[in-house]
Amino acid sequence: MKHEEALKRLKNAEGHLHGVVRMVEQGAYCIDVIHQIQAVQASLGQVSAMILNGHLNSCVTTAIRSESEAERERVLQEILDVFQTANK
């Protein structure tokens, strides 16, 4: 994962979020605000997927190749925990 690309996308989402705050402060039409919130959520979801992909291709791959069963179990549990938290 390229940290620069993730930061670029996060700053873009941050800008969108500030825009949503302004919309609410100015009393924008509710549906327009909801559409913008959904755009921020989608953007964050893309960054999350990008970071997860990088993690799977680096940390998880290294742990799985490790001789340490505890390390393999740990990274697999981390991934499971991420998905369980996302689905709450």
What is the full DSSP assignment across 26-73?
TT--HHHHHHHHHHHHHHHHHHHHHHHHHHIIIIIHHHHHSS-HHHHH
Domain that holds residue 26: 3-86
Kindly report, residue by residue over 7-40, the tens digit of the pLDDT. Answer: 999 999 999 999 999 999 999 999 999 999 999 9
Q: CATH number of the domain that 70 lies in?
A: 1.20.58.1000
pTM, to two decimals: 0.82
| pLDDT > 90: percent of the chain | 77
Looking at the 3D structure of the chain, how many domains does it have? 1
